[in-house]
Structure formats: C-alpha cells, structure tokens
C-alpha cells in the first residue's frame, strides 16, 4: 500500500450542489427518452435464468442526499443485484476491518481483466487485488462478520437492506440457476484457498456470494443505496447511519478505479464518477455529497455493462453537472 502518512490531518470534504428538484426531474425524463429505443447489446445468458428476462425493461432513478427521488421508466421493477452487491459488501467489510487492513487483505487495484478472470489471481501471486471482480469479491465476502456461513449471509442481507432502507429478499430461481452453473466461481474460491487467501469451506463461501448476487433490488433501491454512500454513510430516506464517512470515501475510491471491470477507464473518461455495474443490467453511480443514480436495463456490452444504463448515466452526469473532473472558467456552476 502507498504510504501517504495523513495521520492527524484534518479531513475536509469536497462536494457541490445538485440543480433544483424540477430540473432533476426533467433531466431524468430526458435521459430516459433519449435512450429508451436503443436496442444495443445482449442479455447475459451464462446464468440461464438471466436469459429469461424481458430485455425491453429500462428504468432510472436519481436519489438526492435530501432523500428526494426522481424516477423514469421501470425504476420499481425488481432484478438481481449481481456484481453491484460487491460495492456494498466491500463497504460493510471496510466498516469491520478499517482502511489499512482491508487494503492489505484484499487490495485496491484494477486488474484490467474480465470480472471472472482466474489469470488475475495467478498474475498477483494469489492476491485477489480488486474487490470489484469475482476473486476479490469472494475474498471480501469471506471477511464479513459471522461465526458461521449462515451468520455471514444474514449479515450480508441485513447490511445491504440497511443501504436500501427496506428488507431485501433473494430471487430463488436466479440463485438456483447460478448455483447449478457456478463451476468457475468455485474454481476461483479454491484457487484463493490454495494460496491461503481464504480459509474454510470454499464451496459454502461461494454459496453466500451467489446468494448475495441474487438479492432483488430495483433501480430506485440502487439509487438509495448509492445515495447512502454519497451522504457520508447515512441513508437519506430512512436517516439511518449505515457506515462511516471514511468507509464511503474508501469504497468510492475503489469503485472509481474498478467499478466497470476492464472498462473502468473508459467509464471514468465518459462519466467521471464512481460506479458499479452487474450482469443483470444494474448500475449504481455515486456523486459524492450530491446523490446517486440507479439504472437498470438488461442488454449488456461485451464486458457485461448495461448499454442503456451507461448511456443514461453519461447523459445525467453531464446534464446534472456531476462529473467530478468537470470545471468551467466561466463559473457556470452557480447558474443552477
Ligand atoms: N453472480 C455473477 C457471477 O459471479 C456476478 C457477475 C457480475 O455481475 N459481473 O458471475
């Protein structure tokens, strides 16, 4: 890990403001209408049950840190959270172990390789490196508090439910479908075990990870979950503290470099915000101090990222002034 020695330095925040309520509503509707007719990409089919989804579904929701919700399309349709869960389980594990320990145990660097890469483990002497792809995420789930696998699973479910502000439940059909075809994730867990990176029952560990991926959410849930990370760890709808501001900062830093698999660089170039995608077509994108965007559309690009989800997010990043790298010498940030 980089030794930056900031012990004792006062931690200030760097944030801005969203446009007015009505302006957000208009921009969300506009982002939906611009992209609704786009049929690009293909639905994931390596988990058989995911192939059965209606590909025309498309929903977006912006949750602001004041608890306001701005939706368009199928923002209340449930789908399985899949890899988007990695962001929130990572936050829960950071809350348990802290910055230095999680950095050491899992790592915080992008692998530049596909989400289910085995090579990424081999190239790094068995170190999983990136908590936002399967190897690092399975190693992260292993660190969840709980004396038994059943307790760890319950802590994953309740922890993610606190982010969402409602009790999340598992989609049994998707869980069974993935469990029956999960050989690759089981191989990844066994490889991590062979390097001593995880201990105990690796098949049971993958079972929890598969359950975690099978939790049902909506685009609105993702927006609220993301807005909790944008709001220093307080769910802006329930007002419950879920994690600390430092955990949010650390989690968003990892999403910024690794949230969109091997396309994370392109994502940052176009959208300029931390985000996390999943193979069922969900994407959460976080604007620190402002709010978050949940998007759902099942057709994916070749890296497994929702095509319309990325396009709608890119439009909103621009029209709502969210890109963290955007500044203007004219100072138009005051003109909202
Ligand atoms: N459950 C999926 C898997 O492990 C999640 C992958 C993803 O969303 N990219 O294969």
By mean pLDDT, which of 6-10, 193-197, 204-208, 231-235 is the weakest? 6-10
Q: For residues 97 and 11, which has the higher predicted lDDT (pLDDT)?
A: 97
Q: Does 192 share its domain with 99?
A: yes
Q: Which residues contact 158 (CB under 8 A, 6 or more apart)?
A: none
Annotated catalytic residue 32: no
pLDDT confidence of 336, banded at 50, 70, 90? low
Distance from the alpha carbon of residue 134 to the mean position of ligand 1, in angstroms: 7
Q: What is the pLDDT of residue 7?
A: 81
The phi, psi pair for 47, rounded to 5°, reads: -105, 110
**pLDDT (average), residues 40-50:** 95
Residue 203 falls within a domain, yes or no?
yes
Annotated catalytic residue 329: no
Annotated catalytic residue 209: yes
Distances (CA, A) of 122 to 168, 191, 192: 35, 9, 10
For ligand 1, pick from 44, 46, 278, 305 the residue to mutate: most ligand atoms within 8 Å of CB. 278
Residue 16 falls within a domain, yes or no?
no
Residue 1 falls within a domain, yes or no?
no
Q: What is the number of the ligand 1 atom nearest to the C-alpha of 280?
A: 8
Q: What is the pLDDT of residue 91?
A: 97
Q: Does 185 share its domain with 74?
A: no
Map tokens 């690092």 to a residue. 136
Q: What is the number of the ligand 1 atom nearest to the C-alpha of 304?
A: 9
The domain total for the chain is: 2
Distance from the alpha carbon of residue 28 to the mean position of ligand 1, in angstroms: 28
pLDDT at 332 over 80: no
Q: Which residues contact 201 (CB under 8 A, 6 or more apart)?
A: 149
Q: Report how many helices (DSSP H) and strands (DSSP E) the chain contains, helices first.
A: 13, 9
Q: What is the pLDDT of residue 168?
A: 98
Name the domain boundary from 185, 213, 241: 213
Q: Does 48 share its domain with 128?
A: no
- CATH number for the domain including 130? 3.40.710.10
Q: Does 231 share its domain with 306?
A: yes
Distance from the alpha carbon of residue 115 to the mean position of ligand 1, in angstroms: 7
**pLDDT (average), residues 220-239:** 98
The phi, psi pair for 62, rounded to 5°, reads: -105, 130
Q: Does 259 share its domain with 192?
A: no
Q: What is the pLDDT of residues 257-281, one digit of tens each?
A: 999 988 999 999 999 999 999 999 9
What's 273's DSSP letter? S
Q: Does 27 share its domain with 77?
A: yes
Residue 265 falls within a domain, yes or no?
yes
pLDDT confidence of 334, banded at 50, 70, 90? low
Name the domain boundary from 162, 190, 213: 213
CA dihedral 263, 236, 322, 260 (to 10 degrees): 0
By mean pLDDT, which of 22-26, 216-220, 251-255, 260-264 is the weakest? 260-264
Q: Does 226 share its domain with 307?
A: yes
Q: Does 123 share its domain with 153?
A: yes
Q: Does 260 share its domain with 295?
A: yes
Q: Which residues contact 232 (CB under 8 A, 6 or more apart)?
A: 13, 244, 245, 248
**pLDDT (average), residues 232-254:** 97
Report helix, strand or coil for 287.
strand
Q: What is the pLDDT of residue 112?
A: 80
Q: Does 100 share its domain with 175?
A: yes
Residue 102 falls within a domain, yes or no?
yes
Q: Which residues contact 175 (CB under 8 A, 6 or more apart)?
A: 210, 211, 214
Residue 334 falls within a domain, yes or no?
no
**Given the residues 53, 209, 277, 297, the one annotated as active site:** 209
pLDDT at 335 over 70: no
Is the distance from CB of 165 to CB of 290 less than 8 angstroms? no
Name the domain boundary from 159, 191, 213: 213
Distance from the alpha carbon of residue 209 to the mean position of ligand 1, in angstroms: 9
**Given the residues 279, 284, 286, 307, the one annotated as active site:** 279
Residue 291 falls within a domain, yes or no?
yes
Count CB neighbours of 175 within 10 A. Answer: 20
Annotated catalytic residue 190: no
Q: Does 100 share its domain with 198?
A: yes
Annotated catalytic residue 261: yes
Q: What is the number of the ligand 1 atom nearest to the C-alpha of 279?
A: 8
pLDDT at 2 over 80: no
pLDDT at 3 over 80: no
- Expressed as residue numbers, the domain containing 44 is 21-82+218-327
Q: What is the pLDDT of residue 279?
A: 97
Distance from the alpha carbon of residue 114 to the mean position of ligand 1, in angstroms: 11
Distance from the alpha carbon of residue 279 to the mean position of ligand 1, in angstroms: 6
For ligand 1, pick from 279, 281, 282 the residue to mutate: most ligand atoms within 8 Å of CB. 279
Taking the C-alpha atoms of residue 230 and residue 293, their distance in angstroms, rounded to an integer, is 10
pLDDT at 327 over 90: no
Residue 4 falls within a domain, yes or no?
no
Q: What is the number of the ligand 1 atom nearest to the C-alpha of 134?
A: 4
For ligand 1, atom 6, the nearest C-alpha belongs to 83
Q: Does 91 share its domain with 207?
A: yes
| Both structure tokens of 33 | 């209408």
Q: What is the number of the ligand 1 atom nearest to the C-alpha of 184?
A: 10
Please state whether the predicted TM-score (pTM) of the whole model is above 0.85.
yes
Contact residues of ligand 1, CB 6 A cut-off: 82-83, 115-116, 134, 178, 185, 213, 278-279, 304
Q: What is the pLDDT of residues 94-148, one digit of tens each?
A: 999 998 899 888 888 888 888 888 888 888 877 777 899 999 999 999 999 999 9
By mean pLDDT, which of 5-19, 225-239, 261-275 is the weakest? 5-19
Alpha helices in the chain (DSSP H): 21-35, 84-97, 99-105, 119-122, 134-142, 149-164, 172-180, 183-194, 202-213, 219-230, 245-258, 264-270, 307-319
Torsional sign, CA 247, 250, 253, 255 = negative
């Amino acid at each position: 890990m980089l030794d930056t020695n900031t012990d004792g330095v006062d931690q200030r925040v760097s944030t801005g403001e969203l446009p007015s309520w009505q302006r957000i509503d208009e921009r969300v509707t506009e982002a939906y209408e611009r992209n609704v007719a786009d049929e690009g990409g293909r639905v994931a089919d390596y988990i058989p049950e995911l192939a059965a989804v209606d590909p025309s579904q498309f929903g977006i929701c912006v949750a602001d840190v004041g608890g306001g919700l701005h939706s368009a399309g199928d923002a209340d349709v449930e789908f399985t959270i899949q890899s988007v869960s990695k962001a929130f389980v990572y936050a829960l594990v950071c809350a348990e172990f802290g910055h230095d320990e999680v950095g050491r145990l899992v790592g915080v660097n992008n692998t530049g390789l596909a989400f289910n890469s085995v090579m990424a483990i081999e190239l790094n002497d068995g170190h999983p490196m990136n908590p936002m792809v399967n190897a690092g995420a399975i190693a992260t789930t292993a660190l969840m508090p709980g004396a038994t696998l059943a307790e760890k699973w319950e802590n994953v479910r309740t922890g993610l439910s606190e982010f969402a502000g409602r009790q999340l439940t598992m989609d049994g059909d998707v869980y069974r479908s993935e469990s029956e075809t999960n050989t690759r994730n089981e191989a990844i867990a066994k490889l991590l075990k062979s390097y001593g990176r995880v201990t105990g029952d690796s098949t049971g560990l993958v079972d929890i990870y598969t359950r975690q991926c099978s939790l049902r959410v909506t685009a609105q849930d993702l927006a609220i979950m993301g807005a909790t990370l944008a709001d220093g760890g307080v769910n802006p709808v329930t007002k419950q503290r879920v994690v600390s501001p430092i955990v949010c900062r650390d989690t968003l830093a990892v999403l910024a470099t690794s949230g969109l698999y091997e396309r994370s660089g392109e994502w940052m170039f176009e959208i300029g915000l931390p985000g996390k995608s999943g193979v069922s077509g969900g994407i959460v994108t976080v604007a620190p101090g402002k709010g978050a965007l949940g998007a759902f559309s099942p057709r994916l690009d070749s890296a497994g990222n929702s095509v319309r989800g990325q396009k709608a997010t890119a439009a909103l990043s621009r029209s709502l002034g969210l890109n963290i790298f955007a500044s203007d010498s004219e100072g138009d940030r005051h003109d909202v």
